[in-house]
Structure 1
Amino acid sequence: MSDSIQGTGNAAVAEAVSDADLLAETATAVGAAGSVLRERFGDVVRHRTREELMSALAANDDAVLDVLRPRLESLRPQAGWVEEELAGGALPSGEWWVVDPAEGNVNHLHGLPDWGVTATLVRDNQAVLTAVHLPLTGETYTALAGGGAHLDGRPLRVSETTDLGLSLVATSQARPDENQAVIRRIGSSITSMLGDALVVRTSVPATLHLLNVAAGRIDAFWQFAGARADLLPGALLVTEAGGRISDAEGRPWTPASESLLAAAPGVHTAAVATLSR
């Protein structure tokens, strides 16, 4: 899909508030937008064709953005806006809002509980702050670069496990129409992890797995391919909670990387070895 980006991304405009204050306002914004998504949740949304499915997904996105976008744009009028939530790669310099109005949208339509609203501010290709709201539980996860990761104000820390063989790990599918090379890589990585880890979970969306890594509930998450909106919020949360972020081969991760591994420090090296086989 093409990457549609709007705005100047001009970070030279004077900052009116601190990043910590901005994060608090961002958390309020995703909470308000999440209320819209919660009100739309209920029965399975039936669809007979791909066109009907895509229309239902877009309707959720649009309803949330009607609330979320004006709030975020009022917070940082100079920041650009990334239109395409499945886009990846580097952004132009300056500030950009990277938003997923319905992360786990397909779950929402199927009456499953794994979905939320995310907003991340990126400055010169570095995630500065992020807020993830889960409307069904009312939980809000936040992270500020250099300021830690929190769940409703309580600090988050990754797992202290040091044994991959005792670890609960997870992976996700970046998009429905992956190319065959990525599909084969996903399958072989799951097979490898089934032999080395205690339990392997496979589900979407990526952000919810990354929240669990940051909270110490699971020990590692990996994904091949992916989008900024899928991975940036959770990557910042895991980093600020003391976890390690790399690609699947252990190299530094960027939004342009072909894979992501987020893990507790004690199992990161072992996870890289498993995924590199």
Structure 2
Amino acid sequence: MPSGGSQNDETLKSELLSLALEAARRAGALLRDGRPDDLAVAATKSSPIDVVTEMDIAAEKLITTYLSEQRPDDGFLGEEGASAKGSSGVRWVIDPLDGTVNYLYGLPTWSVSIAAERDGETLAGVVEIPMRGETFRAVLGGGAFLNDRPVGCRPSPPLDQALVSTGFNYVTTVRAHQAAVAQRLIPQLRDIRRGGSAAVDLCDVAAGRLDGYFERGLFPWDLAAGDLIAREAGALTGGRPGDRPSGELAVAASPGVFEPLRALLEEYGAWHD
């Protein structure tokens, strides 16, 4: 299906969603079925990393090849290096394997995240979670869905009853500050979770499995699809006060939890290392 400038927004969003769903399904199947049975931390030092890197790259190549065949004029931004400006005004933002360490260890919380944006606005997003058998999807203004069921974020509890997820950087000095923020935050909440995939955490906020989520150090491919899905499920998302989610800070939560949580994160300096 070639790209074209005459499509109206709804037709375009529908096409982008359909392509993202198929690309994510194919990549998810490749990662699920192609993971070596003997992939383990006990292997030689370079082997697990090399295999995972190969799987990341293979999944991204599968996604970009498929999307390029369908819409050759679109641009790309991918975690594993896919980068093309394109001429259609549409750019695909791709994380072929979000939760690489979970994947390496054989844990189920990893995902394929694909979003399509135009003029900096995400129009469609898909997060495929193969080991859960779950596909989250959304188009701008169309609500959020888990498989074929509409989803919405939880009714907002008081902050001290909120279950909130976060993630930690792999740079030791950054992790130490993030741990200090978490230590101050834990007494203010019901509890904190650490899932290991930003895209899955954002979708779990959308599905009402978490009251909130925050993280520093994310990239556009970590955020793009999950942020849209969370917003379309009724959650609020942002960064520092007045800002959009970014690498500096990303926050997503049910409406009554969002501002109190963000205020504490601001007070505790969660936006800097």
Matches of 2:248 and 2:80 in 1, distance apart?
Answer: 17
Q: How big is the alpha-carbon RMSD for the aligned residues of Structure 1 and Structure 2?
A: 2.5
* Correspondence for 1:250: 241
Decide which of 244, 248, 251 is 1:261's aligned counterpart: 251
Shift of 1:131: 0.8
Matches of 1:169 and 1:62 in 2, distance apart?
Answer: 31
Classify 1:93/1:14 alpha carbon distance in 2 versus 1 (closer, same or farther; 3 Å): closer
* Correspondence for 2:205: 213
Matches of 2:81 and 2:216 in 1, distance apart?
Answer: 14
* Correspondence for 2:196: 204
Between Structure 1 and Structure 2, how many residues are aligned? 258
Classify 1:93/1:167 alpha carbon distance in 2 versus 1 (closer, same or farther; 3 Å): farther
Matches of 2:34 and 2:210 in 1, distance apart?
Answer: 30
Matched, 1:235 2:223: no
Structure 2, unaligned runs of 5 or more: 268-273
Matches of 2:203 and 2:24 in 1, distance apart?
Answer: 16
1:16-58 per-residue CA deviation (whole Å, 9 max, x = no partner) reads 9531232023212211221111112344434433x44442222
Shift of 1:13: 4.0
The answer on whether the counterparts of 2:79 and 2:96 sit within 8 Å (CA) in structure 1 is no
Shift of 1:12: 7.6
The answer on whether the counterparts of 1:93 and 1:125 sit within 8 Å (CA) in structure 2 is no
Shift of 1:195: 1.0
The answer on whether the counterparts of 2:113 and 2:225 sit within 8 Å (CA) in structure 1 is yes
- How does 1:61-76 map onto structure 2 within 5 Å? 61-76=56-71
* Correspondence for 2:171: 177
The answer on whether the counterparts of 1:31 and 1:133 sit within 8 Å (CA) in structure 2 is yes
Classify 1:83/1:237 alpha carbon distance in 2 versus 1 (closer, same or farther; 3 Å): closer
Amino acid at match of 1:234: G
Decide which of 27, 30, 46 is 1:33's aligned counterpart: 27
* Correspondence for 1:3: none
The answer on whether the counterparts of 1:156 and 1:241 sit within 8 Å (CA) in structure 2 is yes
1:181-224 per-residue CA deviation (whole Å, 9 max, x = no partner) reads x4344122211221100011123111111110011110000001
Could you tell which deviates more after superposition, 226-235 or 13-22? 13-22
Matched, 1:78 2:80: no
Q: Secondary structure at the match of 2:132?
A: coil
Matches of 1:252 and 1:102 in 2, distance apart?
Answer: 27
Matched, 1:145 2:140: yes
* Correspondence for 1:48: 44
